[in-house]
Structure 1
Amino acid sequence: MRWQGQELGVTDAAALPGLEHLSGLVRSVTTPEFAGVTFHEVLARTALNHVPGASAMPFDWTVNPYRGCSHACVYCYARGTHEYLELDAGRDFDTQVIVKVNVAEVLQKELRKGTWMHEPVMLGTNTDPYQRAEGRYRLMPGIIDVLAESGTPFSILTKGTLLRRDLPQLARAAERVDVSLAMSIAIFDDALQHAVEPGTPSATARLETVRAATEAGFAVTVFLMPILPHLTDSIAMIDHALTRIREAGAVRVVYGALHLRPGAKQWFLQWLEQHHPELVSSYRGLYPGASATAPKGYRTWLAKRVRPLLRVHGLDGRAEDDHPRGTPVAGLAARADARAAGIVTTSRGRATAMRVPATPPAAAPPRLF
């Protein structure tokens, strides 16, 4: 990269708190086209992140080219991770974006190791790989290339319409490995979407991206989540959402109620007090104390609303918590224990035998970069 000749690891007295000694920090950048956003370019030491065995996530490996996200979704569950950098989970998460400028090169080295078992890799689990910063840094083409060249299947979950830029490359990659694409669209009311997800493309633009991916040969999954209690959980709103999803050509839907993890919870409730104060007491009842998930009673009630509508619209669909740990989720990379039987469900509808290591690698300590 063009910044690798610069001195690294020195103290910068003008840096944000937590970034003064950030190993690999190259520079911090602001540009007029991204008003209010600062990009902190770093040289990553690792690219592959191993998901802890105790996690309920249905995949073992992730790659996150960015930390922080200018999509600025007030409910984003990843907000709390910014606090590890001594940045706040609110405004800083939206405006202080860490960019791993050498992520493709580091990933290529990791995938070439003899110990790599070509297990599926998931992109988009922490922050969005197709957020607006990707238009500037173009990290995803390199990541796609090295994954395909190494024979590693992968999945992408995004809200970003920049995905369309890479569809030809993704189609070529899918000739070599399984590639799964999923689009996250939680809100179909334009005014509410702009208030809750101010940095995201509109639902219409995302649906057009679903249509383009379908035309490129992918069976696209839409994540209709989070469904917001009292805001997007009416029968009329769910029916409208599923109608538009089906018209765009998606074949399956994963739905789920709002999660409010630490960091996200405080930020969301602050937003709710400003925009819908009449709902604050109800939300505090649904998510009391440190509770991050909606109660089972609400989730059961929601499923009874969504499932009949999925059948009406001819969509394959399941709730996110319908997947016990170890079962593959359509549109997502599957965990190794789910693949023990040799079957992986992909968004192209194929079942693929996978090699699984006899002994899973020991979980490495968590790394930010």
Structure 2
Amino acid sequence: MHLTYCFARPTHAYLDFNAREDFEREIVVKVNAPELVRAELGRPSWKGDHVALGTNTDPYQWVEGRYKLMPAIWEAMRDFANPCSVLTKSPLLLRDIELMKELVEVTEFAANLSVPTLDEKAWRDTEPHTPHPRKRLEAVAELNRGGIPTSVLIAPLMPGVNDAPGQVEEILELAGEAGARTIGGVGLHLRGEVREIWFDWLRQYRPDLIPRYRELYRGGAYMPSTERERLASMARRGKGVRGARGVRERKRGERAPGTVVSPPPERQTSLF
């Protein structure tokens, strides 16, 4: 996915790629991820901590449609009854809804969809080649109907781009109608090379906002706390219109009855 503002861009440097064109064109697929997940969950030292997928890069990018790695990862989480969650911008996760239903029967699980804007221009300019944001809200509704606790994150909130009260309120209303468990928002932060990339974007699409952003980020990667709180308060919302089914409590790390623990692979396959 091509996200102009993505804070994961600098991590591409660990693989000798750059944070600009390479980040948008070179997708590294960890084809052995399911085996590694199962092996880690099976270690005696593992305490069953919550595993959050999608906190750096989206696990349901277009390439997942080809490699289909996520089903085996969810199966491992289910087999070990390990608490987990996912954050994504893609309705592709609906492909795995039956596995998610199995997860909520044995452990704590939640899905989260990122919907920064419903404005067509803002979406196309800041998130080209990503699934339509209204399709994401449709996924929220379908997941909640299926008993999967699902929330909406309005992030990032970008002053002057997607923070108009009317724009945010429309997301709040539609997310509530979709049964979103919670709705929250986070302001844009500009760490490392992302700052320069974002200002290049402003020069091309919104030069009128350059002075404002220079002032907002003169102190570093984060805007002032007062502005962050203003943005967060716009999106802050409690339980949605339709609550998802509750999750039966289970001791941390407790496995589902009858779980068969597969041994780790003899060797790790290489990254691709």
Return closer, same or farther for 1:97/1:258 CA change in 2, 3 Å cut-off. same
In 2, Cα distance between equivalents of 1:347 and 1:189: 31
Are the equivalent residues in 2 in contact too, given 1:181–1:347 (CA < 8 A)?
A: no
Total equivalences in the alignment: 254
* 1:79 positional shift: 0.7
| More helix as a share of residues | 2
Q: What are the equivalent positions in structure 2 for 1:150-229 lying under 5 Å apart?
A: 150-229=80-159
Unaligned runs of 5+ in 1: 1-70, 317-345, 356-368
- Say which SS state the counterpart of residue 97 (structure 1) adopts: coil
Q: What are the equivalent positions in structure 2 for 1:211-290 lying under 5 Å apart?
A: 211-288=141-218
Say which structure, 1 or 2, has more relative contact order (CA 8 Å, 6+ apart). Answer: 2
Return closer, same or farther for 1:349/1:109 CA change in 2, 3 Å cut-off. closer
The answer to whether 1:134 aligns with 2:32 is no
TM-score (norm: length of structure 2) = 0.86
In 1, Cα distance between equivalents of 2:188 and 2:172: 18
Q: Which residue identity lines up with residue 224 of structure 1 in the other structure?
A: I
Q: Which residue identity lines up with residue 198 of structure 1 in the other structure?
A: P
Unaligned runs of 5+ in 2: 254-270
From 252, 257, 262, give the equivalent of 1:354. Answer: 252
Return closer, same or farther for 1:162/1:304 CA change in 2, 3 Å cut-off. closer
- Say which SS state the counterpart of residue 201 (structure 2) adopts: helix
The answer to whether 1:87 aligns with 2:48 is no
Aligned twin of 1:334: none
Q: Which residue identity lines up with residue 231 of structure 2 in the other structure?
A: L
Aligned twin of 1:125: 55
Aligned twin of 2:263: none
TM-score (norm: length of structure 1) = 0.65
* 1:221 positional shift: 1.0
Q: Which residue identity lines up with residue 113 of structure 1 in the other structure?
A: R
Return closer, same or farther for 1:351/1:286 CA change in 2, 3 Å cut-off. farther
In 1, Cα distance between equivalents of 2:228 and 2:240: 20
State percent identity of aligned pairs: 35
- Say which SS state the counterpart of residue 81 (structure 2) adopts: coil
| More strand as a share of residues | 1
CA RMSD of aligned residues (A): 2.3
- Say which SS state the counterpart of residue 77 (structure 1) adopts: coil
Aligned twin of 1:64: none
Q: Which residue identity lines up with residue 202 of structure 1 in the other structure?
A: H
* 1:127 positional shift: 0.6
Are the equivalent residues in 1 in contact too, given 2:183–2:235 (CA < 8 A)?
A: no
